[in-house]
Structure 1
Amino acid sequence: MGCHRQRHQWSLIGETGQGTVEYAVVTAGVVCVIVALGALWRILSAGIVVDHALMAASHHLEGALGWAFDIFSY
Structure 2
Amino acid sequence: MAGPYFASVFFSPAALVLGLLAFNKKQKAAGILAVVFGAIGLVGIMQTSSRISGAQEEMRSAMEKAQQDIDKAK
CA deviation digits over 1:43-70, x for unaligned, max 9?
11111xx7xxxxxxxxxxxxxxxxxxxx
How much is the aligned-residue C-alpha RMSD, in angstroms? 1.7
Partner of 1:40 in structure 2? Answer: 66
Please say which structure displays the higher CA radius of gyration.
Answer: 1
With a CA cutoff of 8 Å and minimum separation of 6, indicate the structure with the bigger relative contact order: 2
TM-score relative to the length of structure 1: 0.53
Query: Can you give the 5+ residue segments of structure 1 that lack an aligned partner in the other structure?
Result: 51-74
Secondary structure of the corresponding residue to residue 42 of structure 2: coil
Q: Work out the number of aligned pairs and report it.
A: 48
Partner of 1:3 in structure 2? Answer: 29
CA deviation digits over 1:5-48, x for unaligned, max 9?
2222222232221121111111111111111111111111111x
Query: Can you give the 5+ residue segments of structure 2 that lack an aligned partner in the other structure?
Result: 1-26
Percent identity reads 2
TM-score relative to the length of structure 2: 0.53
Bigger share in helix: 2
Tell me how far apart the structure 1 counterparts of residues 60 and 36 of structure 2 sit (CA, whole Å). 39
